[in-house]
Amino acid sequence: MVDFTGWEMPIHYGSQIDEHHQVRHEAGMFDVSHMTVVDIRGPQTREFLSFLLANDVAKLQQPGTALYSCMLNEGGAVIDDLIAYFLAEEWFRLVVNAATRDKDLAWLERQGAAFSVTITEQPELAMIAVQGPQARARVLSLLSEDHAVAADALQPFTAEHYGDLFIARTGYTGEDGFEVSIPAHQAEDFWQRLLEAGVAPCGLGARDTLRLEAGMNLYGQDMDDDFTPLESGLGWTVAMKDDRRFIGREALESQQARGISLRLVGLVLEGRGILRPQQKVLTPRGEGETTSGGFAPSPPATTETRATATECRDVRSCSAAGRRTTVRDWHQVPTGSTNNWEYLRKRSCTAPCRKRRRTAANRRWRCKSSRRTPPAATRRPAQSTSTSAPPRDAATAGTWPLRKWPLAIRWYTLTPRRNRPAGNEAAVARPR
Concatenated DSSP letters of 294-332: EEESS-SSS-EEEEEEEEESSHHHHHHHT------B-PP
Confidence (pLDDT) at 145: 95
To the nearest 10 degrees (0 to 180), the angle between helices 101-112 and 45-52 is 120
Confidence (pLDDT) at 349: 27
Confidence (pLDDT) at 272: 81
Confidence (pLDDT) at 300: 52
Whether the CB-CB separation of 274 and 294 falls below 8 Å is answered with yes
CB burial string 316-332: b at 16+ within 10 A, e below: eebeeeebbbbbbbbbb
Residues 6+ apart with CB under 8 A from 24: 132, 133, 175, 210, 297, 298
Kindly tell me if the per-residue pLDDT of 47 is higher than 50.
Answer: yes
What average pLDDT does this structure show over 263-291?
84
What is the side-by-side order of every strand in the sheet holding 200-201?
A: 159-162, 165-168, 177-183, 125-131, 28-31, 200-201
Residues 6+ apart with CB under 8 A from 50: 56, 57, 58, 244, 246
Nearest-CA neighbor of 188 among 60, 29, 315? 29
Nearest-CA neighbor of 340 among 245, 211, 224, 426? 211
pLDDT level of residue 362 (50, 70, 90 thresholds): very low
Kindly tell me if the per-residue pLDDT of 83 is higher than 60.
Answer: yes
Nearest-CA neighbor of 73 among 215, 223, 222, 216? 223
Dist. CA 106–CA 231, nearest whole Å: 25
Scanning 113-231, the segments in alpha helix (DSSP H) are 135-140, 145-152, 184-196, 204-213
Q: Which of 97-111, 241-255, 277-291, 379-393 has the lowest mean pLDDT?
A: 379-393
pLDDT level of residue 299 (50, 70, 90 thresholds): low
What average pLDDT does this structure show over 21-36?
97
E strand map for 66-213? 66-72, 78-88, 91-96, 118-121, 125-131, 159-162, 165-168, 177-183, 200-201
Confidence (pLDDT) at 71: 98
What average pLDDT does this structure show over 391-395?
36
Dist. CA 190–CA 196, nearest whole Å: 10
pTM, full prediction: 0.72
Q: How far is CA 361 from the centre of its chain?
A: 24
Whether the CB-CB separation of 339 and 328 falls below 8 Å is answered with no
Kindly tell me if the per-residue pLDDT of 374 is higher than 60.
Answer: no
Confidence (pLDDT) at 107: 98
Whether the CB-CB separation of 334 and 214 falls below 8 Å is answered with yes
Confidence (pLDDT) at 224: 95
For residues 27 and 271, the model is more confident at 27
Kindly tell me if the per-residue pLDDT of 196 is higher than 70.
Answer: yes
Confidence (pLDDT) at 283: 80
Confidence (pLDDT) at 325: 28
DSSP structural state of residue 43: T
**Mean pLDDT, the chain, as a whole number?**
76
Of these ranges, 158-172, 254-268, 325-339, 359-373, the one predicted with the greatest mean pLDDT is: 158-172
Neighbour-count burial of 280, counting CB atoms closer than 10 A to its CB (0-12 exposed, 13-18 middle, 19+ buried):
exposed
CA distances to 5, 98, 254, 325 from 258, rounded to whole Å, are: 37, 34, 6, 18
Confidence (pLDDT) at 82: 98
Confidence (pLDDT) at 359: 37
* Cβ-based neighbour number of residue 348 at 10 Å: 22
DSSP structural state of residue 72: E
Kindly tell me if the per-residue pLDDT of 46 is higher than 90.
Answer: yes
Share of the chain above pLDDT 70, in %: 69
DSSP structural state of residue 111: H
pLDDT level of residue 180 (50, 70, 90 thresholds): very high
Confidence (pLDDT) at 267: 81
Q: Which of 67-71, 128-132, 388-392 has the lowest mean pLDDT?
A: 388-392
Dist. CA 109–CA 98, nearest whole Å: 17
Residue range 375-386, pLDDT digits in tens? 443 333 333 333
